[in-house]
Amino acid sequence: MLRASVWCSLLLALICSTSYSSGINLSIRGLGEVQGSETKTARTEQVVLQFLNIPYAEPPVGQRRFKAPVALSPWNGVKDVTRPGRPCPQPGITDQITPSEITSAVEDCLSLSVYTKNVTAKLPVMVYIHGGSFYLGKAADHPPNYLLERDVLLVAIQYRLGALGFLSTMSSTIPGNAAMLDIILALKWVQDHISDFGGDPGRVTVFGQSAGAAATSALLYSPLVPPSYFSQVILQSGGATVAWANDPNPVENAKEIARFAGCDTVRPIEDIERCLLELPVLKLLKALDLHTQERTLNQGVNNVGGCGMVIGGPSSFLDAAPFDKIRSGRVRKDVRIMAGVTKHDGSFMVAEVYDALLAMNLTEDKQFNQYDLIDMVNRVYGIDDHSGALAGFEVESLFSEQDINSGNFTQLMAGIIDIAGAITIKAPVLRDVQSNVRHSEKETYLYSFDYKGEHTRFGYGASTAHYPFEGGAHHSNDNIYLFPYPSFAANLNAADTMMSEIMVDLWTSFAIDGVPRSNRGVPTWPKVNGPTGPYLHINNPATIGTNFYDEYAVSVHGRSGAGIAYW
């Protein structure tokens, strides 16, 4: 799966980052001069100036590994930013480099890309934070060719991933939350320099998908983020209260990751930290992978470490858990939010669980499916309820008596997908929405992306033929219509092109004046005025829903009489 995504990324770089001309020089006040290139918008072929690899921090290498980023010093001469920046170390990319070739230079990845049509304008700015479970992703996967059909400026940032971005011993040596501090420094860079590219630092919308949305959500609760950095956010399938976005036991988890990497974890913590600082990147990546595999199935994503935010500690990023801040009302009251999910947001999580159960020969185990499956998936997704109460409510809401008694894995799949979607995506998004409705003076908009087009990201490039369910309106399918990535998204059919136009309308109009709208058959999108809605169903045609909790059971309600989920 990861190897396929690498080739898609390389292909996209050729398609969407081709320089139609070079020698576009621009001076960034206080930093230096850069040379960019040009691309064009996908439909009207407007010229877009692109600056693809602008560093915003000093290389986080050597003793700077795991530490807060340091703002970049000015440079002499002209910096060539005509090619995409080096991705931050991650599986599927970094491990394609042989150990003899890899050096600390691969950690020098803190860059951002700026796309603008007019460097003398004062355009609203959209800053994108990519997803990828906090251990995958890069800026080059989010080109401007759709969004810049409208009059906005796009910034796509890169931040440290996996253990390099999140590992913590809760000490000054490895404080944690390095990735989140990267994002804050990138937002400061936007405030200081985006006017040189034709952007308005007073009109910044931060948006992200999945882990990028969880990171965006977390910015709302951090005391380190000045209110001037942004006034609006768009959360696509992610929120900061979700279990997988947080590390509950950072020191214990850091020690276990160190053990997997070959460090002597019997020694004092200072020696363990020294070992982690000196580890080759590939060893660190592998150690995190082993830790994640072991913890996810045995203890659940809420016990995985080294790849999520930490509460407290010397980084000072979060002085309290986001939910505690929501409950006490210690949240920003001046932020406008647009947030939502894809209708079948849980199917990608169930695919991973299905593969694991298949390998253990449990998918055909009738008694396991009758008595253990629901409790197991709850635990994997972050809720370990020994009483059986949660499973009981889920059975009552999502399964028939015949489903449970059958012990048939396929027959239970629709409900399992709904459980996965609710726990890992939909409930955390709704939590942020409800908080903003309750505490903010600004508007809140909520959506469900229901559209099922020609293409899907289900499987992320790997075969999905063995799954006894489809991906539906799959996690991240909404991004197909905002960014021409992967390669199939650059060649949409007529119906999908219309959906892309609608999505671009809604996202950019929100960035421009705070009101998401489209004249392409979309009804007026009502503001959320209570705990359940209303909200927009983004589909063809678009409709208005009133109770967002209905989205917790969409797979069950759409299944056939045989119990297989059809969309």
Percent of the chain with pLDDT over 90: 88
Q: How high is the pLDDT of residue 567?
A: 39
Please, how many CA atoms are within 13 Å of residue 145, restricted to the half-sphere of its CB?
27
pLDDT surpasses 80 at 2:
no
Q: How high is the pLDDT of residue 560?
A: 37
Asked if 182 and 273 count as a contact pair (C-beta separation under 8 A), the reply is: no
Summarize the confidence of residues 544-565 as an average pLDDT: 75
**Alpha-carbon span 238 to 139, nearest angstrom:** 18
pLDDT surpasses 90 at 297:
no
Q: How high is the pLDDT of residue 101?
A: 61
Predicted model pTM:
0.93
Give residue 519's identity as a one-letter amino acid code. Answer: N
Closest CA to 534 of 433, 431, 428, 422: 433
Name the residue with higher pLDDT: 490 or 156. 156
Q: How high is the pLDDT of residue 100?
A: 61
Q: How high is the pLDDT of residue 22?
A: 57
Summarize the confidence of residues 470-492 as an average pLDDT: 94
Q: How high is the pLDDT of residue 5?
A: 37
**Alpha-carbon span 313 to 68, nearest angstrom:** 13
Asked if 242 and 214 count as a contact pair (C-beta separation under 8 A), the reply is: yes
Neighbours of 459 (CB within 10 A): 16
pLDDT surpasses 80 at 426:
yes
Q: How high is the pLDDT of residue 386?
A: 92
Name the residue with higher pLDDT: 269 or 102. 269
**Alpha-carbon span 238 to 356, nearest angstrom:** 24
pLDDT surpasses 80 at 97:
no
pLDDT surpasses 70 at 14:
no
Q: How high is the pLDDT of residue 45?
A: 97
Task: Compute CA 402 distance to the chain's CA centroid, rounded to the nearest angstrom.
Answer: 37
Asked if 317 and 181 count as a contact pair (C-beta separation under 8 A), the reply is: yes
pLDDT (tens digit per residue) in 199-239: 999 999 999 999 999 999 999 999 999 999 999 999 999 99
